[in-house]
Amino acid sequence: MTSQLQTAMEGLIEVFHSYSGKEGDKYKLSKLELKSLLQGELADFLAASKDPRVVDKIFADLDENKDGEVDFQEFVVLVAALTVACNEFFIGCHESSVASKEHPASKKV
């Protein structure tokens, strides 16, 4: 039986490789493959951005070695950054919720 973390890691690897290699290096994502991955797997994040160049900006930020492709290590940076941002958001929501419960003055009577 695998742990939740191991399952999540396997999922990341499977998702990456299900999009990589359709064009060019099979172990890297082209800009088109990254766009397809983002639209297929993170559509809500893309929809939240009003910037039509968001994929171009993400690609430029991820392609650290400037080879025109995103390898798995560069992809994991994106996933980690989004995970941290989501965690901070949910911690902030939780803390706001707890704070409003602890301070009766903040409640409407």
Residues 6+ apart with CB under 8 A from 76: 12
Question: What is the C-alpha to C-alpha distance for residues 39 and 47, in angstroms, rounded to an integer?
Answer: 9
Nearest C-alpha neighbor of 37 from the set 53, 52, 58: 58
Q: What is the pTM of this model?
A: 0.75
In DSSP notation, 6-22 reads HHHHHHHHHHHHHHTTS
pLDDT in tens, 86-106: 887 777 766 666 666 665 555
CATH of 4-106, one of 3.30.1490.150, 2.60.40.10, 3.40.50.2000, 1.10.238.10: 1.10.238.10
Measured CA to CA in angstroms, residue 106 lies from 89, 94, 96, 101 at distances of: 21, 16, 11, 8
pLDDT in tens, 52-82: 888 888 889 888 888 889 999 999 998 998 8
